[in-house]
Structure 1
Amino acid sequence: MTTVGESLVRLLEANGVEIVFGIPGVHTVELYRGLAGSSIRHITPRHEQGAGFMADGYARVSGKPGVAFVITGPGLTNTITAMAQARADSVPMLVISGVNALASLGKGLGFLHELPDQRGMMQKVALTSTRIERPEQLAPAIDEAFARLAVGRPGPVHIEVPLDVMRLPSAAPQEPRAWTDDLRMMEQPILDAARLAAAAERPLILAGGGARRAEAELGELAELLHAPVVTTINARGLLHRHPLGVPASPSLPAVRKLMADSDLVIAVGTEFGPTDYDIYANGGFVLPPKLVRIDIDDGQLRRRPATVAIEADAARALRRVVQSMRESVRRNSVKRADGAARADEARRGARAELEPGMDVQLEAVEMIRDALPGAIIVGDSTQPVYAANMFYDHDRPGGWFNAATGYGALGYGAPAAIGAALAAPDAPVVCLTGDGGFQFTLPELGAARDARTPVIFVVWNNRGYREIELSMRSASVEPVGVSPAPPDFCAVAAAYGLPAERVKSLADLPAALRSAREANQPFVIEIEVP
């Protein structure tokens, strides 16, 4: 007899799932009956929040949904933070949980891990939340989940299976449906965008996280129009060292000047969120008067008005726009401004506008990039990450991401880096974290060891929440609660049987990074910040 739990695992296998992140409990035992005999690898974090963050990091690097198994109640509520981060950053994540027996739901009888309305709670965070109440509902629910993850703007999807339903007999799973984005781009917006671009003398492109897998198409459009390309945080790594690239925050005056001086802005996969466009909350960002928007999400297009709106995947839309634009540009003899010179001026100005102290923090990030070419750097909320989010040119598309933007969950870096390393086992993977944020998920060092992922954990140890302390002082508030004592991180690494090194000067960081890479196992580097 095949149970619902076993059929669920077989359906995950059929949909290409290779790794599941989770902590088994009495409310998921029946799911693990199917998992043990499958080809799916199981990774055990030290906390369910870590399971969600690992699934997030895996999804961002692999391009496939990250999958987590969590128990009813506290297991699921522990995962909500990671799901909210995934929703903010459009990361495909499938969370499968248990729930108490069907007859008990909503009655407040005091069962183990009981919530008043678990599914109702998840519907506020997940894109969709589905309960399997009968075996025949399982295959359609899995199909629907993977469709939601494959088509349109991705995010977290939740499925819950009651304890009594997990054990029920189930028919052999059907083959999964093949899902493709069959969204048909309207021809008129494409032609309108081409017409505007052909007539522009000083065009500009804004690239967001939705463009991170469209580097070739983005570069082709930029070169066709001689247009600078400003990359937001989640787009860093695109057009590395390209003369038209501007890897700087649109919150900086030099980048805002570039935008204001442009007679057309083409925004690709960016939601114009404040953590990119108005980080200092000074109200200095305004939408350009001539704006072409390309976004996969119709809801996003409706939230910010545009002269022309194109609802489509970034790469597909850019290919069509370039095709239509070539003829328009050839026919139109507009004299364009020197895009490379405009980009260079913006780059120089933006770097000069960084806050005091950020130059040293940025230097640390650039040392990591240069010592480990092609590395994936997964950041937490810490000073070097803040600095690089303002200005930093990474050398790998999709290789720079962190939780210091959007939802902004502390503790993200370590588990997300483990997920990233599982998705790209041949690439150097660095977790860049602060001493405060690292302590949120410090036990995941054990998960890194178990999974044999050679993540290099670089800890910026300034002994507290330094950025919060500075914010308090700037607001004339006496700092309170910003100096949690850090442990000896090298000793903690040793307790897990992992190598570690403490550096007291940034000059020693490149050698430490190379040693860590050669060790080919999880490695902690602690930077003592004066």
Structure 2
Amino acid sequence: MLVAEAVGRALAAAGVECAFGVVGSGNFHLTNALAAAGVRFVAARHEGGAAVMADAYARTSGRLGVLTLHQGPGVTNALTGIAEAAKSRTPMVVLAADTGAAGARSNFRLDQAALAAAVGATHERAATPDSAVDDVLRAVRRARTERRTVVVSLPLDVQAGEAPAAPHRPLPAPPLLTPAPEAVAALADLLAAAKRPVFVAGRGARDPAAAAAIAALAERCGALLATSAVAKGLFNGDPWYLDVSGGFASPAAAERIAGADAVVAWGCALNMWTTRHGKLLGPDADVAQVDVDPDALHANPRVGLGVLGDAGATAAAAEALLAARGHAAPGYRDRPLPPVRWRDVPYHDETGTGRIDPRTLSIGLDDLLPAERTLSVDSGNFMGYPAMYLSVPDAAGFCFTQAFQSVGLGLATAIGAAIARPDRLPVAALGDGGFLMGVAELETVVRLGLPMIIVVYDDAAYGAEVHHFGPHGHPLDTVTFPDTDLAAIARGYGCAAAVVRAPADLAAVADWLSGPRDRPLLLDAKVTASHGSWWLEEAFGH
């Protein structure tokens, strides 16, 4: 058996269910081996899209993401997607073909270890035919245990070598990092003294079991619940859930968070976006952080207590300790919450002159789309509107590839998320710039038969730059473009499509939902653009 085939079989035996990529000569045999072993392979149209699909699949499914790449340009094409996954701590293995010993002068030769390190990923190498399977499985263990994106270099001569006969060894389950008892006691002391505690959960707590443990602790000490943007929906259904903290927070939610006398971050970085450049951390508030990564603790200088531990395990231990002490308090739950949804905040509808207000568009879509949906959002000025005005059923229903803040990842994100959750309606929310950057993957949506709704918030510009530099009188010719008929482009790929300029035009959505949904629907929503979004104005005004 060749090493390429043995690696494919070993990955399938290790529980890999789906892989993404673009096939070239360097990963042809390995990809076929994965498919022959029962792993579903999804062919993208660009390696960058394939990387984002694998990332989104892992986030949405909770399973390992796997990406397979040709050497040289296949690897470099995927780097932005790998960077997003690495900076998001997505458990993902990148199977990167590499030049062998005879390729020292090949133009395909790259320092893959240096490239991985440069974007925040870790690196392994299949060193010899005898060690290759173990080397790849070590990468799988690291990805799952450390929550890392791991690039595995697979030299062509190693792939073509003869694999040794070896029995399959099942991979152990990832260990649970339990917090030190003295750290749990310090956290319990902080919460027992708090009168107005707020919990902010991030990607490190984006798990139903962890969410349940955090919610139980919040109930015992009277804490209000919030999330970072990537964990939106984690506490859906809890009457004390404020939704997203930070720049996306509604006025009522921001007021309550800023009024807390204790803030605990659960697997959350408390970065400038989550705290509005620190303005949501009251000057006298005690701040604690729970994380499995020691490097993440105390990155925010306001953190006074850092607890190294799994979010769910730490919350359960703190709740048990407070229960043993007989502590229970109403805390910040002493008065009802005001409405915290953005769609409940009054606004002046600016729809008119052939353009629709993005708030009106988003609320109209929210009313029409089924509750069981998976929302994926691209980057740009527009992104706060779908992220905050469209509801999601739970944290798995929201996929937000924003760690690297790259425009153009949204469509590929929606594909990976849709494959992870075929039971839900996939919804992609994109800007016109991001749509055109990633438009090649529209063919992938059609080819796979995904019943997806793609909403393009189309202002014929890179809106963030327009609203950042325009008010200062700078020329905007480089960031504004002629209006493009995106609906016609989508029809060329095989989609159904409609142009939306007013609420009545959303009838196209109702018609599509009631029909066979046998092809994707793209909405070219011509949105108003007289000013920046609220979150962008707040960020630029800092």
Q: TM-score, normalised by structure 1?
A: 0.89
**Structure 2 CA distance, aligned partners of 1:291 and 1:250?**
16
Q: Does 1:219 align with 2:212?
A: no
In the TM superposition, residue 344 of structure 1 has moved relative to its aligned partner by 2.5
Equivalent residue for 2:454, pick from 449, 457, 474: 457
State the one-letter code of the partner of 1:164: D
State the one-letter code of the partner of 1:193: L
**Structure 2 CA distance, aligned partners of 1:514 and 1:322?**
49
State the one-letter code of the partner of 2:216: E
State the one-letter code of the partner of 1:28: N
Moved more, 509-518 or 10-19: 509-518
- Compared with structure 1, are the counterparts of its residues 362 and 56 closer, same or farther at alpha carbon in structure 2 (3 Å cutoff)? farther
Aligned length: 516
Q: Does 1:194 align with 2:194?
A: no
2:91 paired residue number: 92
Kept after mapping to 1: 8 A contact 2:61/2:396: no
1:299 paired residue number: 295
**Structure 1 CA distance, aligned partners of 2:523 and 2:256?**
39
2:533 paired residue number: none
In the TM superposition, residue 320 of structure 1 has moved relative to its aligned partner by 1.9
In the TM superposition, residue 377 of structure 1 has moved relative to its aligned partner by 0.5
Q: Does 1:243 align with 2:239?
A: yes
- Compared with structure 1, are the counterparts of its residues 420 and 451 closer, same or farther at alpha carbon in structure 2 (3 Å cutoff)? same
1:205 paired residue number: 199
Moved more, 192-201 or 348-357: 348-357
1:132 paired residue number: 126
Kept after mapping to 2: 8 A contact 1:457/1:522: yes
Deviations 1:282-333 (A, max 9, x none): 97767864222211211101423534322222222222222222233x347x
State the one-letter code of the partner of 1:265: V
Kept after mapping to 2: 8 A contact 1:11/1:139: yes
- Compared with structure 1, are the counterparts of its residues 240 and 508 closer, same or farther at alpha carbon in structure 2 (3 Å cutoff)? farther
1:436 aligns to what SS in structure 2?
helix
State the one-letter code of the partner of 1:91: T
2:73 paired residue number: 74
**Structure 1 CA distance, aligned partners of 2:281 and 2:193?**
25
In the TM superposition, residue 429 of structure 1 has moved relative to its aligned partner by 0.8
Q: Does 1:327 align with 2:324?
A: yes
**Structure 1 CA distance, aligned partners of 2:511 and 2:120?**
40
Kept after mapping to 2: 8 A contact 1:191/1:324: yes
In the TM superposition, residue 398 of structure 1 has moved relative to its aligned partner by 2.9
**Structure 2 CA distance, aligned partners of 1:58 and 1:355?**
38
1:247 aligns to what SS in structure 2?
strand
1:57 aligns to what SS in structure 2?
helix
Kept after mapping to 2: 8 A contact 1:516/1:523: no
In the TM superposition, residue 340 of structure 1 has moved relative to its aligned partner by 4.8
In the TM superposition, residue 26 of structure 1 has moved relative to its aligned partner by 1.7
Spell out the pairing of 1:14-53 with structure 2 (5 A cutoff): 14-53=13-52
**Structure 2 CA distance, aligned partners of 1:414 and 1:245?**
29
State the one-letter code of the partner of 1:450: R
Equivalent residue for 1:168, pick from 155, 158, 161: 161
State the one-letter code of the partner of 1:197: L
In the TM superposition, residue 408 of structure 1 has moved relative to its aligned partner by 0.6
Could you tell me the percent identity over the aligned residues? 27
**Structure 1 CA distance, aligned partners of 2:331 and 2:280?**
27
- Compared with structure 1, are the counterparts of its residues 288 and 257 closer, same or farther at alpha carbon in structure 2 (3 Å cutoff)? farther
Deviations 1:233-253 (A, max 9, x none): 112112235331112432467
**Structure 1 CA distance, aligned partners of 2:346 and 2:365?**
22
1:30 aligns to what SS in structure 2?
helix
- Compared with structure 1, are the counterparts of its residues 212 and 511 closer, same or farther at alpha carbon in structure 2 (3 Å cutoff)? farther
**Structure 2 CA distance, aligned partners of 1:349 and 1:8?**
49
1:261 paired residue number: 259
2:536 paired residue number: none
In the TM superposition, residue 84 of structure 1 has moved relative to its aligned partner by 1.0
Equivalent residue for 2:512, pick from 491, 515, 528: 515
**Structure 2 CA distance, aligned partners of 1:266 and 1:353?**
31
Moved more, 36-45 or 432-441: 36-45
**Structure 1 CA distance, aligned partners of 2:17 and 2:504?**
40
**Structure 2 CA distance, aligned partners of 1:410 and 1:282?**
25
Moved more, 347-356 or 308-317: 347-356
**Structure 1 CA distance, aligned partners of 2:118 and 2:394?**
34
Moved more, 203-212 or 54-63: 203-212
Structure 2's unaligned 5+ residue stretches are 529-542
**Structure 1 CA distance, aligned partners of 2:413 and 2:164?**
36
1:275 paired residue number: 273
In the TM superposition, residue 363 of structure 1 has moved relative to its aligned partner by 4.2
- Compared with structure 1, are the counterparts of its residues 425 and 352 closer, same or farther at alpha carbon in structure 2 (3 Å cutoff)? closer
2:154 aligns to what SS in structure 1?
strand
**Structure 2 CA distance, aligned partners of 1:297 and 1:275?**
20
- Compared with structure 1, are the counterparts of its residues 80 and 294 closer, same or farther at alpha carbon in structure 2 (3 Å cutoff)? same
**Structure 2 CA distance, aligned partners of 1:168 and 1:118?**
21
In the TM superposition, residue 124 of structure 1 has moved relative to its aligned partner by 2.2
1:191 aligns to what SS in structure 2?
helix
2:524 aligns to what SS in structure 1?
strand
Spell out the pairing of 1:313-462 with structure 2 (5 A cutoff): 313-328=310-325, 330-331=326-327, 336-341=331-336, 343-344=337-338, 347=340, 360-370=357-367, 371-387=369-385, 389=387, 394-403=392-401, 405-462=402-459
State the one-letter code of the partner of 2:51: G
State the one-letter code of the partner of 1:129: H
1:496 paired residue number: 493
**Structure 2 CA distance, aligned partners of 1:72 and 1:449?**
28
Moved more, 496-505 or 359-368: 359-368
**Structure 2 CA distance, aligned partners of 1:287 and 1:63?**
37
2:539 paired residue number: none
Moved more, 508-517 or 243-252: 508-517
In the TM superposition, residue 520 of structure 1 has moved relative to its aligned partner by 4.4
